[in-house]
Amino acid sequence: MTSRPKPRVYLLHGADGLARGRGLAKLRQGLGASDPAALDYIPLKGENLTLGRLEEETHAQPFFAQRRLVHVFDPLACPGLKKQKQRQAFLEALTRVPPSCALVLDVPRDLNPNHWLRAWVDAHPDIAFQRAYPLPKDLTRWILARAAEEGGRFTPQAASELARRLDGDAVSALHEIRKLLAYVGYRRAVEVDDVQELTPAQEHPNIFEMVDAIALGNSARGLRLLHQLLAEEEAPRIWGMVVRQFRLLILARTALEQGIADRQRLAKAIGVHPFVAQKLIPQARRFPLTALKTIYARLWAVDRDWKTGQSDLVTAMDLLIASLGR
């Protein structure tokens, strides 16, 4: 009885980067490539990937291990996969990966079942394997468990607050868990106040919706969302969020015009979380860069008038959004 051939292409996908990392480590250990300097472990980044480089690395013979492990992080960031013809060439290259290679496609986000890459893996069970690593549905419980593994404790309330602030990002959550445990010296449980002091909250979703309303010329909706925000936060904080949002939109729009359209690359270029970058992309496309610069100049004028006592901040924001909506 012959054993089933080992897969040549491994698709690891999902937003739980910690779980994906463990899956990759297990695979590397099985192939004898767990040493970071192993000659038969070849790490590549999707943003720099070309089809020629992929074929060159996957078809090279292993040095010491039985199989060569080529690890491509975020292959979907490859500029050459924007069009259907280019994707087809990429998929054809996957079918040519030799048995002497294990090609790992490491996608740092959840893929829908009908995604073209998942569909290809499903259609080629003889040479391809996939595993999903979605974020845990109960991130609060996950944080409590990870804190215990790290040798510390969170109160349930603090874990819930951290989960809310990180919007389901497991890798960032582990970083924050370690930071918070170090802050309390592992001597006591992390409290809600500790999380609020050290972990910045994600932007309020109404900020994105309000800017969308402005971009679409709907000043009435923009004003309604502004006052919903003002019911929850102090005016100076809301104003800071508005200014920051338009500053990020200028940076995002500039990056888009330079051809940086992938959320991971954009996040790195302008210094935000990929989750924020994903929301900035469609908004930035709604504004010409010249319009964003004009808006930012008006924001500066409002900021100057408010801080010098020449205007009331809430009234100034009302007038600004009403005029921008037009």
pLDDT digits (tens, 9 = 90+) for 133-183: 887 777 888 899 889 989 999 999 999 888 877 755 666 778 889 999 999
The answer for residues whose C-beta is within 8 angstroms of residue 123's C-beta and 6 or more apart is: none
Distance CA 300, CA 322 (A): 17
**Structure confidence at residue 105 (pLDDT):** 96
Cα-Cα-Cα-Cα dihedral of 206, 209, 210, 212, to 10°? 160
**Structure confidence at residue 203 (pLDDT):** 54
Q: Read off the pLDDT band of 201 (50, 70, 90).
A: low
Q: Which CATH class is domain 205-325?
A: mainly alpha
Say whether 293 sits in a helix, a strand or coil: helix
Q: Assess contact for 210 and 225: CB atoms under 8 A.
A: yes
Is residue 20 scored above 90 in pLDDT?
Answer: no
- Give the residue extent of every domain in the chain: 9-132, 139-198, 205-325
| Domain 9-132, second-level architecture | 3-Layer(aba) Sandwich (3.40)
pTM score, whole prediction: 0.55
| Domain 139-198, second-level architecture | Orthogonal Bundle (1.10)
Q: Read off the pLDDT band of 33 (50, 70, 90).
A: low
b vs e for 153-178, b when ≥16 Cβ sit within 10 Å of the residue's Cβ? Answer: bbbeebbbbbbebbbbbbebbbebbe
Whether 139-198 shares its CATH topology with 205-325 is answered no
| Extended beta strands in 27-167, E state | 41-45, 68-73, 101-107, 128-132
